[in-house]
Amino acid sequence: MKFFLDTANIEDVKELLPTGWVDGITTNPSLIAASGRRFLDVIAEMCDLVDGPVSAEVAATDYKTMLAEGRHLAKIAENVAVKVPLTLDGLKACYALTQEGTMVNVTLCFSAAQALLAAKAGATFISPFVGRLDDIGHDGMTLIQEICQIYAQYPFDTEVLAASIRHPLHVTQAAQSGADIATIPPKVIYQLLQHPLTDKGVEIFTKDWKKTGQSIL
């Protein structure tokens, strides 16, 4: 499963790139607002840093303006994936942009039926929001499973991107459910790494090594 880093903070990207974990980036208006930076500058800088897709979301809600914004964003770099909402106008824009060779990430997906429509519109990525479904008492991971099951039966090229990831269990469950990608906040990336037994083991081995009085270098 690929990992996309869910952030608008350039320093997060620079810190995690050397791990080999960052296969792409997703952003959204809320993350951009929190960064306090100019949206187009952030996207351009991320596209220079990362070889994989960088999702940049349109601000408009009508088809004509979404299409214009999407075309403008696509000119920033070849690895821009234009992000559009799962609405009628959003899917029209998705179809038009994919016909032009632009990657499109269809976001705010909350049902398998919506995911089916997005795939038929040519979406490169579909982003089901796991955490937000959990918040209202639904099982978000069931949606990932349903979408993966449907996509497996037809020749869709759309990749399932598990979004709204809230904790490490979401990541492992998304992988078990067949998601192609998980977009993960930096905080959760670091939580994936942590385990008290690992820390304890390092502590013991380090203490025992010091007792030997040896040096490898």
Give me Rg for the CA atoms of the chain.
Answer: 19
Dist. CA 54–CA 81, nearest whole Å: 6
Question: SS3 letters for the chain?
Answer: CEEEEECCCHHHHHHHHHHCCCCEEECCHHHHHHHCCCHHHHHHHHHHHCCCCEEEECCCCCHHHHHHHHHHHHCCCCCEEEEEECCHHHHHHHHHHHHCCCEEEEEEECCHHHHHHHHHCCCCEEEEEHHHHHHCCCCHHHHHHHHHHHHHCCCCCCEEEEECCCCHHHHHHHHHHCCCEEEECHHHHHHHHCCHHHHHHHHHHHHHHHHHCCCCC
Active site residue 75: no
Which of 83, 92, 187, 210 is catalytic? The answer is 83
CA angle 106, 107, 108 (to 5 degrees): 140
Catalytic residues: 83
